[in-house]
C-alpha cells in the first residue's frame, strides 16, 4: 500500500488534515508570493501599493516553509516606485541566497517597469505569451497651471529658503535648469535599473541594449526572443513540470488582524473619497499598457 493511500484518511481531518498528510508523504512545497498592484504607497492616505514594510513578513515566511523546494513570484504590476522595487527585489534575493532556494517569476497581465524589476529578482522568468513585459525606463509626468491661475485671478505666493527649493513648481513657468536637473536624476535611476537587469539576466539578454533599455515594452512571447523572459509557461504547470505532479503550492499572504478587517469594512465608504487621487494615479499606470 502506498503512503498516499495510507494517509488518505488524514485529508478528511478538518483544517490541518491535508497539511499533515503532505508532511507524512514528504510532499515538495513551492511558496507562492503574489506581487500584484502598483509599487509604492498610493493615494492621499499613502496606502495600498506594494511596499517592503508590508511584504517583509510574508517574504520571510515564504522562505521558511517546511519541505520548501522553491519560491514562485506571481507578478502583475505596471511598476511604480523605483526605491520600493529595489528594496523588495533585494530582500527576495538576500533570502534566496541565504536559504539556497531557487526563485521563479511568473508574469501575469503585466510585469513592466518596476514590475519587471521585481521579476528580475528571480532566477528564471516565465510569462504568458500575451503578457506585457519590459518598459525598462524612468518617467516623470505632471501638469502646468500657470495660465489657469492667471485666468481665474489667483495670485500664487511662494516663500522658500534655498534658491532651488521651489524647482519644478507646476504653478510657475518651466525653468531649463529644473529640467536639466530632473533629466540628470532620471538618467541616474535608469542606469541603476538597467544595471540590475544586466546583473540578473546576464548573457540571457539577446536584444540590442538600445532597444531593450529604451522604455519600450513587448508581449511575453517577444520577450522570450529578446532574453527578457526564459519561456512561456504558467505557474502551476511549470512547478509541476519541475517538482512533480504532487508539488504543493502554498500561497503566502500578509495576515490581517480582526481590528484591521473591522476597520477596513467600516471605513470603506469614506476611504474612496480620500484616496481618489491615488486611484487616478494607479489607473494611469495600468492604462499605459492597455489594461
Q: Domains of the chain: which residue ranges?
A: 3-135+216-287, 137-199
- The single residue listed with the C-alpha cell 540628470 is 184
Q: Give the separation between CA 162 and CA 159, rounded to whole angstroms.
A: 10
Residues 6 or more apart in contact with residue 203 via CB below 8 angstroms = none
pLDDT of amino acid 137: 80
Backbone angles phi, psi at 152, to 5 degrees: -95, 5
Q: Give the separation between CA 65 and CA 56, rounded to whole angstroms.
A: 15
pLDDT of amino acid 176: 81
pTM score over 0.85 = no
Cα-Cα end-to-end distance for the chain: 51
CA distances from 291 to 150, 283, 287 (A): 37, 9, 5
Which parts of the chain sit beneath pLDDT 70? 1-25, 42-48, 140-146, 150, 165-168, 171, 255-291
For domain 3-135+216-287, say whether CATH 3.90.226.10 is its number.
yes
Amino acid at each position: 500500500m502506498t503512503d498516499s493511500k495510507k494517509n488518505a484518511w488524514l485529508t478528511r481531518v478538518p483544517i490541518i488534515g491535508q497539511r499533515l498528510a503532505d508532511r507524512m508523504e514528504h510532499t515538495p512545497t513551492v511558496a507562492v508570493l503574489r506581487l500584484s498592484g502598483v509599487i509604492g504607497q498610493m493615494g492621499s492616505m499613502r496606502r495600498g501599493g506594494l511596499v517592503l514594510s508590508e511584504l517583509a513578513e510574508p517574504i520571510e515566511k515564504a522562505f521558511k516553509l517546511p519541505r520548501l523546494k522553491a519560491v514562485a513570484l506571481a507578478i502583475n504590476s505596471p511598476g511604480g516606485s523605483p526605491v520600493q522595487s529595489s528594496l523588495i527585489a533585494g530582500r527576495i534575493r538576500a533570502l534566496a541566497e541565504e536559504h539556497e532556494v531557487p526563485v521563479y517569476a511568473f508574469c501575469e497581465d503585466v510585469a513592466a517597469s518596476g514590475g519587471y524589476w521585481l521579476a528580475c529578482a528571480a532566477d528564471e522568468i516565465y510569462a504568458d505569451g500575451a503578457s506585457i513585459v519590459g518598459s525598462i525606463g524612468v518617467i516623470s509626468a505632471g501638469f502646468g497651471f500657470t495660465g489657469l491661475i492667471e485666468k481665474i485671478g489667483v495670485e500664487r505666493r511662494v516663500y522658500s529658503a534655498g534658491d532651488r527649493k521651489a524647482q519644478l513648481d507646476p504653478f510657475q513657468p518651466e525653468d531649463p535648469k529644473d529640467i536639466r536637473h530632473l533629466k540628470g536624476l532620471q538618467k541616474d535611476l535608469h542606469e541603476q535599473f538597467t544595471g540590475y537587469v544586466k546583473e540578473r539576466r546576464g548573457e540571457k539578454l539577446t536584444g540590442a541594449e538600445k532597444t531593450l533599455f529604451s522604455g519600450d515594452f513587448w508581449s511575453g512571447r517577444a520577450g522570450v526572443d529578446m532574453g527578457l523572459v526564459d519561456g512561456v509557461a504558467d505557474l502551476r504547470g511549470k512547478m509541476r513540470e519541475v517538482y512533480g505532479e504532487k508539488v504543493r503550492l502554498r500561497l503566502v499572504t500578509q495576515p490581517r488582524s480582526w481590528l484591521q478587517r473591522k476597520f477596513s469594512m467600516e471605513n470603506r465608504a469614506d476611504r474612496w473619497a480620500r484616496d481618489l487621487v491615488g486611484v487616478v494615479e494607479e489607473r494611469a499606470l495600468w492604462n499605459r499598457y492597455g489594461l
